[in-house]
Every structure is written in C-alpha cells, then in structure tokens.
Amino acid sequence: MKTFNLIIAGVCLMAAVSCNQARNTEQATSEYENAVIENMMTRRSIRQYTGVPVKRETMQTILECGINAPNGMNKQSWEVRVVDDAEVMKEIIGMMAAANPSVDPGAVKGCFRGAPTMIFIANDPSYDCSPIDCGLLSENIMLSGWSLGVGSVCLGSPVRFLNNSPEAIARLGFSEGYTPIICIGMGYPAETPDAKPRDPGKVRFVE
Ligand SMILES: Cc1cc2nc3c(=O)[nH]c(=O)nc-3n(C[C@H](O)[C@H](O)[C@H](O)COP(=O)(O)O)c2cc1C
C-alpha cells in the first residue's frame, strides 16, 4: 500500500511540474506576462458588433464586476440599466429623437454605435465623488467584458440627448435624483481596431 501511495504521489508531482512548465512556456511567448495586464493593454473601443446581444449569464458576471468597483464610502452612488432588447432600444431612441428635434434622428441612433446591448449609468449629483464612482464602475464593466470576449465602447454623446428627454429617463426607470452620466455599448466584436496612441509624457514621477 505504501509503495502504491508513493507511486501516486510521484505521478501527481510530475503532472504538477509539467503543468507549471507549460504555463511558464505560455507566459514566455506572450507579450505580457500577466493576464490582467494583457487584458488592460489589449482592450480597444469597439464600434462594430455582430448584432447578437451579450448573453444574460455573461452580463450578470460583468455587472457584478461593475458593482464591485471601489467607490466613495461604499455609497455605490450609481444606478445601472441594461437594454438588450432591440424593440426597447428603438423606443428609447425614438423618445430621445423627439426630445432633440434640432438633431438629425439618424445621429441620435448613430451615437449608440449599433451596440446590441446598451448599459445606461446614472450618477447621484448630490455626491461630489459620484462621477468617479461611475467611471470606476464603467471601467470594471468594460475590462471584465473584454476578458470574456465582449467588446465595448464608452459613450458620452447619447447622454446629452438623453438628459433632454425625461420620458426616456423615466422609461429606463432611474430613481428620482439620479442623472445619466455615461453609456456603455457592448456586444461581440466585428472589428479588431489598432491601439490608439497614448502620451506617456502626461505622467511623471515627482523627485
Ligand atoms: C468619457 C468617454 C466618453 C466617450 N464618448 C464616446 C462617444 O460618444 N462615442 C464614441 O464613439 N466613443 C466614445 N468614447 C471612446 C473614446 O473615443 C476612446 O476610448 C478613445 O478614443 C481611446 O480609444 P480606446 O478606447 O480604443 O483605447 C468615449 C470614451 C470616454 C472615456
């Protein structure tokens, strides 16, 4: 029995070592050695989608990541509404277009970039850190989505149209006192955009 146990332990040890070697080889061939960093560095804004809404089960995980973002005093000063039904989205766009008669209705529709799942985020303007809370929530949503193969684009332009439309805000069911601050379009990517350049000169150590 003792010999049998020793053989089993030996086999397990060999499997663990070979597994570790495989992982190290994989890491060595990847540009980034850390999966979290790779996820951050490869994320791109996506503006072309397959048209299929994000699976509800996947969205639940993404939204849970969102609300686990750091936030001031854990006030969770956000409200999040998800629209993944094309008919509801059409209704909301119609309300927004009606409330912004000087804007071409095509532009109102276009500002959503054709994303099949739309996330509307409202902040609590009575709390000065609420925009930051909503930004951190948004980033968690976009990065967790990216790690699960879901593309996204942060959208500021629909908010201007939305905030002129109490009807659309009511349809989204935001609580009294909450004001839309940002939208996130999500879906399965139908494009692979290049990275946009960043200016490292904006960041420096103070000696
Ligand atoms: C606050 C905010 C508002 C944005 N609004 C829009 C928008 O209205 N329409 C759009 O196509 N992209 C919008 N974007 C996406 C940016 O254009 C994009 O993040 C930027 O060009 C960098 O590209 P990258 O996300 O691929 O790195 C917005 C991003 C942020 C953070």
Q: Kind and range of the H or E element at 39?
A: helix 35-42
Greater confidence (110 vs 19) lies with 110
Shortest CA distance to 76 belongs to which of 63, 67, 84, 65?
67
E strand spans, 45-178: 78-83, 117-123, 151-155
pLDDT band (50, 70, 90) for residue 31: confident
Greater confidence (81 vs 23) lies with 81
Which amino acid residue places its CA nearest to atom 3 of ligand 1?
Answer: 156
Greater confidence (192 vs 22) lies with 192
Which amino acid residue places its CA nearest to atom 18 of ligand 1?
Answer: 45
pLDDT band (50, 70, 90) for residue 29: low
Is 173 exposed, middle or buried, given 0-12, 13-18 or 19+ CB atoms closer than 10 A? exposed
Instruction: Share the mean pLDDT of the chain.
Output: 90
Task: Please report, rounded to a whole number, the percentage of residues in the chain having pLDDT higher than 70.
Answer: 86
Return the DSSP state at 193.
P
Q: What is the pLDDT of residue 68?
A: 99
The answer to whether 178 touches 37, Cβ cutoff 8 Å, is no
Shortest CA distance to 51 belongs to which of 142, 96, 117?
117
To the nearest 10°, report the CA torsion of 119, 139, 149, 185. 30
Calpha distance 8→14 (Å, rounded): 10
Calpha distance 185→113 (Å, rounded): 7
pLDDT band (50, 70, 90) for residue 21: very low
What radius of gyration, in Å, describes the C-alpha atoms of the chain? Answer: 22
Protein residues with CB under 6 Å of any ligand 1 atom = 44-45, 47, 113, 153-157, 182, 196
Q: What is the pLDDT of residue 102?
A: 97
Which amino acid residue places its CA nearest to atom 6 of ligand 1?
Answer: 155
Region 118-133 average pLDDT = 98
Q: What is the pLDDT of residue 9?
A: 45
Task: Please report, rounded to a whole number, the percentage of residues in the chain having pLDDT higher than 90.
Answer: 85
Render pLDDT for 127-184 as a digit per residue (tens, 0 to 9).
999 999 999 999 999 999 999 999 999 999 999 999 999 999 999 999 999 999 999 9
Pocket probe mutation, ligand 1, options 112, 140, 155, 194, max atoms within 8 Å of Cβ: 155
Pocket probe mutation, ligand 1, options 96, 119, 142, 153, max atoms within 8 Å of Cβ: 153
Q: What is the pLDDT of residue 17?
A: 39
Region 44-69 average pLDDT = 98
Cα of 196 to ligand 1 centre, how many Å? 11
Q: What is the pLDDT of residue 27?
A: 46
Cα of 166 to ligand 1 centre, how many Å? 25
What structural domains and CATH numbers belong to the chain? 42-187 (3.40.109.10)
Cα of 157 to ligand 1 centre, how many Å? 10
Cα of 115 to ligand 1 centre, how many Å? 14
Calpha distance 162→155 (Å, rounded): 12
Calpha distance 58→108 (Å, rounded): 28
Calpha distance 46→187 (Å, rounded): 9
Q: What is the pLDDT of residue 121?
A: 99
Q: Considering only 16-25, 59-68, 121-130, 165-174, which range has the smallest mean pLDDT?
A: 16-25
Which amino acid residue places its CA nearest to atom 29 of ligand 1?
Answer: 154
Question: CA 73 from chain center: how many Å?
Answer: 23
Region 53-81 average pLDDT = 98
Cα of 45 to ligand 1 centre, how many Å? 7
